[in-house]
Structure 1
Amino acid sequence: MKVKRSVLYTRVSRSTEESVSVDRQERELRQVAEREGWPVVAVFQDDGLSGRTERAKADAALAMLAEGRAEVLMVWEMSRWSRMGLGAVAKLVEVLDAKPDALFLAQKESLRSDQPAFRLMASVISEVARMEAESTRDRIKAMRSYVLSETDPSQTRWLGGPVPFGYQAVARPGGGKALQLDPEEAPVAREAAEKFVAGMSLTDVTRLLQERHVATPQSPARRARQAGKPVDGLDAGTWRITTVRKLLLSPTLIGRTTQGDGVVTDATGLPITRWEPVIDVGTWNAIQTKAKARAPYQDRKASSWLSGFLFCGLCGSVLYVNSRKDRVNGSFRCANKAIPGQACKGVSISREGVEAYMEGTILRMIGGLDEYRVSERVEGTDAGELDAVAQAIADVQSALAGDEADYGVLLPRLDKLKARRRALQEAPGRVVKTQVPTGRTLADAWAEGDVRERQWIISDMIRGIEVQPAARPRQPVEERLVIVWDEPEAEPDD
């Protein structure tokens, strides 16, 4: 019988947790390995890291299992793995399905992947971890909302993350950081916006930025310059139409911050300008109008439930369904030809093959879960909300009379407020939404659903799927896909 090699993964968010220190975890796991006759070939340790903010070492341990360099993956407790999110559990199950002889063991719970109830128990433990994370996420959101609601420019703070193009992060006198105009990038962004409004196409704006060797927002060269480090020899990235479009449409160009589906507003519903704008509001409104006029394709229905989820592994562009007369289902292909001389060489993959593989993967993960739908009920009219809407209408009307009124924002806001007032006045009460089970499983919903319903099911699971070029003829679909599972927001610690 072949000797099974084991790889150990230990993790603790706070090094002061002596009772479950990484040293103790490793010691106990080695005892199990010795007892079972599994030689330890590697140990991966995360000490003092949150499970939701660091998973490179966990991925490395799982890769050893997937690549056949080990047959057993051991953790001290299932939460050491499940706290990294449902995506981490999904990747584990995916590897175990592909490697029937592989084994996963959680020592504390005596949980093994060769047990009949493994999938059920792993799902339950992961769901408990998710519920704990929900509470943490709510606290983080409340903190973010408080910081973002600050209207005094001298008190605004930057919450971190990628620095928007055109800005640089600087220290605030009261602590933390704020954003201010970048003397190199702001003029470039301003010129790009003005040229687009004046009639230059997105393709030509993209070409202009590339020819001038402007560093892209996520390029190593820009990150180094923002950190005050040398940029010589670093990659400045390649501008794409999608990148330029995202830049020009972003409210950050006029000093605003987004949260959820919209910009951050004050108590009256008016947008808060948190940083010095790169361009004026009039130019930004003109960009929105022109961009919408050039994008009629946005209203088209997706022809595949994977549309919008597949991306080119070479250039990062969205893959589109390319139907051909000689093929019923066609294929997904990269259609990025934004920059002459630097256009993507092209990545394509069989639509039928990728849909079949992803459908099987998704249904193995969630097919047995119950489906829920939103139920609405009406409760008593909220007089306080009616008063608040009336006051907001008065405030917007007052703002419209100002010399610097932002009509593109204020007029739609006024229409929405008036519509809300009519609804409150006419309705006998307010609508309260709750989730109720439908009696179907998600597998049933999937089988009976159309393209849009299937996209809704997977939208909370998958951020995107990167398709790599084929390394050899007839290479299996699963070897070419890099699935980016949607992860819950970071939690501070265990």
Structure 2
Amino acid sequence: MAAHPCVPDVDRRAADGPDGAGGDQSRISDPSAGGATVTLILDIYARVSRLGDDRQRSTTGQVEDCEARVGERGAEVGEVHIDSGRSAWNPRVRRPDWERLMTRLETGATGGVVVFDMARFSRRPIEGERLILAAERGLVVLDSEGEYDLTTANGRKAFRDQLNAAAYESDRLSTRIKRGKRLKARRGESNHTHRPFGFEPDGLTVREEEAAVLREMVRRVLTGENQDHIVIDLNQRGVTTSTGGEWSRESLKQLLLRPRNAGRVDHLGEVVGEMPGEPIIDVDTWERLTALFAARRRGRPNSETYLCSGLVFCGYCHTALTGRPRKYLRPYPDGEVRR
């Protein structure tokens, strides 16, 4: 891979001297300039998994430490990349600044990267292999404690060991969290992230004004009223979800089928305990609801009119595209409700 003209391949012999030791490590050899040396440019990467978590060093503190590290090396700071509130362990989480950093490393736009520690860079060994491949041209990789020479077997081993240790730590934490959630569920305690509709923030105390609305929803569905009519009515009345959003068919269905309504606690789809106190609806009513939804025909076959309905997604908001216009949904900018 050709290096960026402003940040050439690192020639460690030129930087360290003919014996491979000492010399000016802030300079690197530029093959395109007949071996002349230029200032080493290093990017900085900082990350925190959760915003407002005082147990983690802030991204501001990480960047300050990395800038000091770059100064110790006698190099110049290239670009600073920060991913706030982004997990490096969950493969479903996208880290935009990490991807931008890797693009710069792989194209030779920077001479290397500095991180506070390798767990900030990644907790997935497969992502570390991507950096190792990019470092074949001689990238500089630094953390707050040392340097990883990814052009040598020992350097690659030390780097992989750090990422494997970070991945192991995350795996153990995930296991403990899952075990703790299951134990809480068996004790009848709540594992919710957002306040459940019909309950106070503790997830146990019933919020009566919302509970009354929930009972109304149950009654209307069991008497055969169309779900679209219920959704339209709730939104027109200004009744919002627990997060302040508008109702939809899916959010209405999820609420009605929630075991918590009948005083049951579920974990990963399995009922594992019962909540203290009186439930919002009785178990028989909840079971009638679940049987009603289970008996309904799932979806509709594709048709020539609505080809690919539910199979393609909006490239902007990633919502599944459907071919069933509904009056309560927002129209297209030109006022039409179908395409």
Please tell me the TM-score bracket, short chain as reference.
0.5 to 0.7
Name the structure 2 match of 1:188: 213
- The structure-2 alpha-carbon separation of the partners of 1:53 and 1:66, relative to structure 1 and needing over 3 Å to count, comes to closer
Q: Report the TM-score when normalising by structure 2.
A: 0.59
* Distance apart, 1:263 and its partner CA: 1.3
| Aligned positions of 1:424-439 closer than 5 A | none
DSSP 3-state at the match of 1:163: coil
Match of 1:161 among 157, 180, 193: 193
Q: C-alpha distance in 1, partners of 2:226/2:246?
A: 18
Residue 115 to residue 315, structure 1, CA distance change in 2 (3 Å): same
Q: Deviations over 1:388-416 (max 9, x none)?
A: xxxxxxxxxxxxxxxxxxxxxxxxxxxxx
Q: Is the contact made by 2:43 and 2:113 (CA closer than 8 Å) also made in structure 1?
A: yes
Query: Deviation of residue 291 (structure 1)?
Result: 0.8
Aligned residue identity for 2:6: K
d(CA) in 2 for partners of 1:118 and 1:311? 44
Report the alpha carbon displacement of residue 292 of structure 1 after superposing the two structures with TM: 1.3
Deviations 1:196-252 (A, max 9, x none): 111122222222222222223433xxxxxxxxxxxxxxxxx3322221221111112
State which of 252, 269, 276 in structure 2 corresponds to 1:244.
252
Name the residue aligned to 2:75: 37
Q: Is the 8 Å Cα contact of residues 206 and 339 (structure 1) preserved in structure 2? A: no
Q: Alpha carbons of 1:312 and 1:187: their partners in 2 closer, same or farther (altered >3 Å)?
A: farther
Say if 1:167 and 1:180, in contact at 8 Å, map to a contact too: yes
Structure of greater relative contact order (alpha carbons < 8 Å, 6+ residues apart): 1
Point out the structure with the larger strand share: 1
* Other structure's SS at 1:180 match: coil
Whether contact under 8 Å (1:112, 1:118) holds in the other structure is yes
Q: What is aligned with 2:6?
A: 2
Q: What is the match of residue 297 of structure 2?
A: 295
Shift of 1:262: 0.7
1:62 aligns with 2:112: no
CA distance in structure 1 between the partners assigned to 2:285 and 2:70 by the alignment: 66
Aligned with 2:76: secondary structure? coil
* Residues 322-471 of structure 1 mapped to structure 2, 5 A cutoff: 334-335=321-322, 337=324, 339-343=326-330, 345=332
SS in 2 for 1:252: helix
**What is residue 241 of structure 2 aligned with on the other side?**
216
Distance 1:242 1:26 in 2: 46
Partners in 1 of 2:65 and 2:293 — Cα distance?
Answer: 60
Residue aligning to 1:149: 186
State, as a whole percentage, how many aligned pairs show the same letter: 22
Deviations 1:341-365 (A, max 9, x none): 524759xxxxxxxxxxxxxxxxxxx
Cα contact 1:337–1:343 (8 A) shared by 2: no
Equivalent of residue 223 in structure 2, options 198, 208, 212 = 198
Q: CA deviation at 1:256?
A: 1.8
Task: Extract unaligned runs of 5+ from structure 1.
Answer: 151-155, 170-176, 220-236, 266-271, 301-306, 320-333, 347-494
Amino acid at match of 1:7: I
2:280 to 264, 278, 281: 278
**In structure 1, how many angstroms separate the alpha carbons of the residues matched to 2:103 and 2:222?**
52
Q: 1:17 to 1:257 in 2, by over 3 A?
A: closer
Contact 2:83-2:98 at 8 Å conserved across structures: no
Aligned length: 274
Q: Deviation of residue 195 (structure 1)?
A: 0.9
Of the two, which has the highest radius of gyration?
2
CA distance in 1, matches of 2:71, 2:326: 55
Q: Give CA deviations for 1:442-473 in whole Å, capped at 9, x if unaligned.
A: xxxxxxxxxxxxxxxxxxxxxxxxxxxxxxxx
1:75 aligns with 2:115: yes
Superposed CA offset, 1:101-121 (max 9, x none): 9x7834356347888999998
- Structure 1 residues 214 and 15, CA, compared in 2 at 3 Å: closer, same or farther? closer
| Structure 1 pair 50–238 and aligned structure 2 pair: CA distance change class (3 A) | closer
| Counterpart Cα distance in 2 of 1:288 and 1:74 | 54
SS at structure 2 position matched to 1:296 = coil
Using the TM superposition, name which of 240-249 and 3-12 deviates more. Answer: 3-12
Q: Could you give the per-residue CA deviations for residues 85-143 of structure 1, whole angstroms, max 9, x where no partner exists? A: 679x49x959x99xx99x78343563478889999987765444333333333333343
Evaluate the alpha carbon distance shift between residue 250 and residue 315 of structure 1 in structure 2; reply closer, same or farther with a 3 A threshold: farther
Q: Distance in 2 between matches of 1:311 and 1:118?
A: 44
Q: Distance in 2 between matches of 1:124 and 1:254?
A: 49
Match of residue 14 from structure 2: none
Q: Structure 2 unaligned runs (5+)?
A: 8-40, 303-308, 334-339
What's the C-alpha RMSD, in Å, of the aligned pairs? 5.1
